[in-house]
């Protein structure tokens, strides 16, 4: 999403108009593609995707008409079975795409896009809000938890608060129609250790919407080439993890360092945070030894230790690094869903 908004910002700042095509709804059930976006530029270039296939091709043509007419609108599509599959929909045969016209050089829109780019770098719950009551005269804003609405005087906080969710919604409230999509979901996954399982885990987590940071004390394992999907990679000291990353209440801690001693050191520090989830990889024997030290040397209680998930991951009889990564990712998805 950040790349998409950066492209929009660049084009608008250069004076070029663009159209943002977004899937906002479908009949029957909410599609997994809801919130999928594509930017179409005046020169014919496009960025992002709304699922490919015939719907995307036709949307590109319609976006060019919007650029010519300078008017936003929605368009419904009736999909054939193969097009439903293209969009990743669970079921249902209709989808609605909203075409938003952004005028090149518009300072308010450029400033708001810059603000969106800044918010995307923050670990705070926020939502992108589009009022579509009047499809032509739409209003775009951002709601940031604890800070309020940014970018609009027309959208009222009291109207949109009941609609804020972890999923995209397109609903009418108090006579106004809003499309609201999560922009940033607070909570990052702090992966301690950059070994084989971590290398399999980070891309899977990134693909399902988790923001990942990797902390490793070996230079050869703390590289962007090993973790291209990571939000950040820190070459740090496992004795002082706070110097590398701040663990916040909505964060997930995954401990998979190269040895028992380092797991113990990281876990002792993680237990002193309010992390939402703490999981440790390793055999029952290794973890038992770690727990013994935590009780005897660090004076943690059994209640403290109950916060720790071990063995980490859902029980799917995983054996290989890739399989273990899938089991851990599935568990984090479950925890995220339970805490929405």
Query: Mind listing the domains of the chain with CATH numbers?
Result: 2-184 (no CATH), 188-338 (3.40.50.720)
CA distance 78 to 270: 51
CA distance 58 to 17: 19
pTM reported for the whole predicted model: 0.67
Question: What confidence score (pLDDT) does residue 33 get?
Answer: 56
Exposed / middle / buried, residue 230 (Cβ in 10 Å: 0-12, 13-18, 19+):
buried
CA distance 328 to 317: 12
Residue with tokens 């810059």: 114
Question: What confidence score (pLDDT) does residue 26 get?
Answer: 61
Contacts of 45 (CB under 8 A, 6+ apart): none
**Start-to-end Cα distance in the chain:** 21
Please name which of 223, 175, 227, 182 lies closest in space to residue 201, comparing C-alpha atoms: 227
The answer to whether 205 touches 227, Cβ cutoff 8 Å, is no
Report how far Cα 278 is from the mean position of its chain's Cα atoms.
Answer: 20
Question: What confidence score (pLDDT) does residue 32 get?
Answer: 40
Question: What confidence score (pLDDT) does residue 125 get?
Answer: 86
CA distance 280 to 88: 33
Residue with tokens 């719907």: 55
Question: What confidence score (pLDDT) does residue 52 get?
Answer: 75
Question: What confidence score (pLDDT) does residue 12 get?
Answer: 96
Distances (CA, A) of 47 to 11, 29, 51, 271: 12, 27, 12, 43
| H-only helix segments in 93-237 | 107-119, 157-160, 196-207
Classify residue 74 by its DSSP letter: E
Exposed / middle / buried, residue 34 (Cβ in 10 Å: 0-12, 13-18, 19+):
buried
Q: Kindly provide the residue ranges of all beta strands, DSSP E only, lying in 118-218, ordered along the sequence.
A: 126-131, 139-144, 148-150, 169-173, 176-184, 188-192, 211-216
Please name which of 262, 252, 260 lies closest in space to residue 217, comparing C-alpha atoms: 262
Question: What confidence score (pLDDT) does residue 81 get?
Answer: 59
Q: Which two tokens stand for residue 165?
A: 């969710």
Q: Which two tokens stand for residue 231?
A: 């939000």
Peptide bond into 15 cis (omega under 30): no
Question: What confidence score (pLDDT) does residue 34 get?
Answer: 64
Question: What confidence score (pLDDT) does residue 90 get?
Answer: 40
Question: What confidence score (pLDDT) does residue 94 get?
Answer: 77
What residues of the chain score a pLDDT lower than 70?
Answer: 26-34, 79-93, 340
Question: What confidence score (pLDDT) does residue 92 get?
Answer: 46
Question: What confidence score (pLDDT) does residue 91 get?
Answer: 44
């Amino acid at each position: 999403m950040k790349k998409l908004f950066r492209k929009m910002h660049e084009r608008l700042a250069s004076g070029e108009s663009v159209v943002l095509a977004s899937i906002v709804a479908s009949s029957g059930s909410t599609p997994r593609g809801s919130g999928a976006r594509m930017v179409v530029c005046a020169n014919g270039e496009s960025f992002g995707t709304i699922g490919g296939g015939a719907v995307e091709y036709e949307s590109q043509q319609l976006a060019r008409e919007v650029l010519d007419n300078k008017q936003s609108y929605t368009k419904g599509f009736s999909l054939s079975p193969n097009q439903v599959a293209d969009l990743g929909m669970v079921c249902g045969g209709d989808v609605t795409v909203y075409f938003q016209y952004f005028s090149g050089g518009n300072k308010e829109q450029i400033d708001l896009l810059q603000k969106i780019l800044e918010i995307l770098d923050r670990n705070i719950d926020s939502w992108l809000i589009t009022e579509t009551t009047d499809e032509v005269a739409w209003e775009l804003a951002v709601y940031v938890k604890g800070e309020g609405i940014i970018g609009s005087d027309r959208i009222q906080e009291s109207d949109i608060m009941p609609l804020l969710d972890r999923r995209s919604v397109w609903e009418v409230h108090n006579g106004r129609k809003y499309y609201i999509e999560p922009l940033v979901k607070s909570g990052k996954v702090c992966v301690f250790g950059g070994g084989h399982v971590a290398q399999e885990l980070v891309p899977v987590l990134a693909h399902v919407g988790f923001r990942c940071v990797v902390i490793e004390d070996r230079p050869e394992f703390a590289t962007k080439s090993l973790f291209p999907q990571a939000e950040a990679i820190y070459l740090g000291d496992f004795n002082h993890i706070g110097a590398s990353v701040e663990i916040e209440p909505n964060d997930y801690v995954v401990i998979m360092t190269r040895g028992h001693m380092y797991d113990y050191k990281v876990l002792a520090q993680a237990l002193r945070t309010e992390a939402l989830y703490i999981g440790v990889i390793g055999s029952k024997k290794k973890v038992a030894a770690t727990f013994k030290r935590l009780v005897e040397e660090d004076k943690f209680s059994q209640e403290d230790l109950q916060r720790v998930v071990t063995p980490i991951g859902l029980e799917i009889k995983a054996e290989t690094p890739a399989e273990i990564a899938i089991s851990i990712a599935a568990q984090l998805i479950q925890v995220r869903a339970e805490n929405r």
